[in-house]
Amino acid sequence: MTRDSLLAELADAVRATARSHPVRVAIDGVGASGKTVLADELADCLSGLGRSVIRASIDGFHRPRHRRYERGSTSPEGYLDDSFDYDAVRSCLLVPLGPGGSRRYRTAVFDFRAESPVDSPERIADPNAVLLFDGVFILREELREFWDFSIFVDAGFDVTLARALERDLSLFGSERAVRERYEGRYIPGERLYLERCRPRERADAVVRNDEPANPALEWRCTSQGEQ
């Protein structure tokens, strides 16, 4: 499958997801699987087809550092369960954009790099808009019922670690620090997530993304009913 054909097929599936409110799309996957890139590409594709697109990420909903690292900076369980403010994801985005919602939304509440709250402006969504929301752990129980369509971007941990060693070098300062963080906290926490929440089985579509230029697309199930 070519990248263009992948995007066209996913865009068609999103457009076919009819709702009386903005369509809320989850783009899940482990770190460095390619979910943010896919979300940005799909946004361009849908925008080119005349659809209003809202882009947001779980990265805008981190908890403060002292909450994220309550169990220690190397805890896989802490990464899985303490990193993000799911109440804020629901209240700022998923509920307002859902059935009976106000369509008044915010796309971020906290900047984890600056370690400070974000005063992002409140916007009003077009009723026919599509929310493309990417991030780790977003097909977990706290959020699962709110998605109208979901994609899991799948890549092997050997592939994602190699990508992270390039992508996150400036963030962590050295290759050794990147490797320690991923092998000690991120990858074990993501393994827990895969075992506990089974996102591959719950997603509407799975994108095999070890080779982004030659992806594969698998359809898992029909999209959920309106929530």
Domains and CATH numbers, the chain: 3-218 (3.40.50.300)
226 pLDDT tier (thresholds 50, 70, 90) = very low
Interhelix angle 35-48/3-15, nearest 10 degrees? 70
DSSP 18-34: --SS-EEEEEEESTTSS
- Each residue's pLDDT tens digit, 54-78: 999 999 999 999 999 999 999 999 9
209 pLDDT tier (thresholds 50, 70, 90) = very high
220 pLDDT tier (thresholds 50, 70, 90) = confident
Query: How confident is the model over 132-156, as a mean pLDDT?
Result: 98
Residue 227 has pLDDT above 90, yes or no: no
Q: For the chain, first and last CA: distance in Å?
A: 32
Tell me, yes or no, if the pTM score tops 0.75: yes
Cα distance between residue 190 and residue 102, in whole Å: 34
Cα distance between residue 85 and residue 117, in whole Å: 12
Residue 213 has pLDDT above 50, yes or no: yes
- Each residue's pLDDT tens digit, 69-119: 999 999 999 999 999 999 999 999 999 999 999 999 999 999 999 999 999
Residue 36 has pLDDT above 80, yes or no: yes
